């Protein structure tokens, strides 16, 4: 099962240039969270900091009562075993077969026999739909298959936290849809805590339980999917609507002259579209993180229309005036 990850006041800079500062959020145990943000805002740096590959300048990362930012290298090595990571390109060894790529962490970090390793590798390859491809080299399979092979390797040590660095990068919309469904199903099967960095808006709208947005060096928002998808914050609405109008520009933040010109022209951001259905596991069972229907709405004085939340957290509804 997954574990909670609590981030408090995390700050990171390179050469005196801040990447982001004072980031605080909690990744609920066993849930799927998505982190969005314009290019160059340090989302991948955030993942590397979470797993202990980079040290933050300030702040804390609490996992099972331990602050990763203050652990010795030996203690950090042990905590890293809680993590599995899917890198953008899968990060497979080109000279190794898919089988050997997936077996690599078991051979490096455990003392299991080859027969035990074979059983685990076959189990993980079956989970991602790659049984039968284990003797192929990474260069002999498609990009989507390489992503799934990288995911099998990330799963092989049964991690409690899995980080996805732009898993949809380089994939067409159809393969992205298949990968999204696989992520939902794996979360259902493993119960691990998932954090996905992505630019794909459809993924952000349909896959996670929680969404965060990093913008201009800070965490603009983080919370339940429904909260972000009905937000009135200009940066959130601009990003989720993929609009040029708003505070985000080519150089991340527009200057005051650009914003003033937009205001004088009377151009406004369109409202966010209705909240779509959240993807459900293929086996038809409720998601692990499913809340009681409409609980978030009740807590925030938002009443969904009749017929919404019919057994699926995040069914289609329009926000009331309180969130427009």
The answer to whether residues 135 and 204 belong to one domain is yes
CATH code assigned at 30: 3.40.50.300
The answer to whether residues 246 and 118 belong to one domain is no
Query: In sequence order, what are the residues at sequence separation of 6 or more whose Cβ sits closer than 8 angstroms to the Cβ of residue 51?
Result: 80, 83, 85, 163
Q: Which domain holds residue 139?
A: 5-224
Query: Is residue 297 assigned to a domain?
Result: no
Domain count across the chain: 2
pTM to 2 decimals?
A: 0.83
On the CB side of 100, CA atoms within 13 Å amount to 9
The rounded average pLDDT for each run of 10 residues, N- to C-terminus, in the chain (324 residues) is 93 89 95 89 89 93 93 90 84 91 93 95 95 93 90 95 91 90 95 94 93 88 91 82 70 53 60 84 79 48 38 33 34
Query: Is residue 44 assigned to a domain?
Result: yes
Listed residues 192, 224, 256: the one ending a domain:
224
Phi (first) and psi of residue 284, to 5 degrees: 85, -5
End-to-end CA distance of the chain: 37
pLDDT attached to residue 171: 86
The answer to whether residues 91 and 70 belong to one domain is yes
The answer to whether residues 147 and 36 belong to one domain is yes
The answer to whether residues 256 and 194 belong to one domain is no
The answer to whether residues 72 and 175 belong to one domain is yes
The answer to whether residues 123 and 73 belong to one domain is yes
Of the candidates 239, 245, 237, 250, the residue with the CA atom closest to the CA atom of residue 319: 237
Burial status of residue 56 (CB atoms within 10 A of its CB: 0-12, 13-18, 19 or more): buried
pLDDT attached to residue 165: 92
């Amino acid at each position: 099962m997954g574990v909670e990850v609590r981030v408090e006041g995390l700050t990171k800079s390179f050469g005196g240039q801040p990447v982001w500062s004072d980031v605080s959020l909690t990744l609920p145990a066993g849930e799927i969270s998505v982190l969005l943000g314009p290019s160059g805002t340090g989302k991948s740096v955030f993942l590397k900091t979470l797993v202990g590959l980079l040290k933050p300048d300030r702040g804390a990362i609490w996992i099972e009562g331990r602050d990763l930012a203050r652990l010795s290298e030996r203690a950090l090595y042990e905590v890293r075993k809680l993590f599995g990571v899917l890198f953008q390109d899968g990060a497979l060894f080109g000279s190794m077969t898919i089988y050997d790529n997936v077996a690599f962490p078991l051979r490096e970090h455990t003392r299991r026999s080859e027969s035990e390793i074979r059983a685990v590798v076959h189990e993980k390859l079956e989970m991602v739909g790659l049984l039968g491809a284990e003797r192929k080299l990474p260069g002999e399979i498609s990009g989507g298959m390489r992503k799934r092979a990288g995911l099998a390797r990330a799963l092989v040590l049964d991690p409690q936290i899995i980080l996805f660095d732009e898993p949809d990068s380089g994939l067409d919309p159809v393969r992205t849809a298949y990968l999204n469904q696989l992520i939902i199903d794996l979360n259902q099967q493993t119960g691990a805590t998932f954090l996905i960095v992505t630019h794909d808006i459809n993924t952000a709208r349909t896959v996670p339980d929680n969404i965060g947005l990093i913008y201009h060096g800070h965490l603009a928002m983080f919370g339940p999917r429904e909260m972000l998808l009905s937000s009135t914050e200009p940066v959130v609405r601009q990003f989720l609507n993929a609009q040029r109008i708003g505070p985000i520009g080519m150089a991340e933040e527009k200057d005051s002259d650009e914003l003033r010109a937009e205001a004088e022209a009377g151009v406004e951001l369109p409202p966010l579209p209705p909240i779509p259905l959240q993807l459900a596991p293929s086996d038809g069972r409720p998601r692990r993180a499913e809340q009681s229907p409409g609980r978030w709405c009740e807590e925030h004085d938002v009443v969904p229309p009749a017929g919404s939340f019919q057994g699926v957290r995040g069914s289609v509804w329009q926000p009331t005036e309180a969130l427009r």
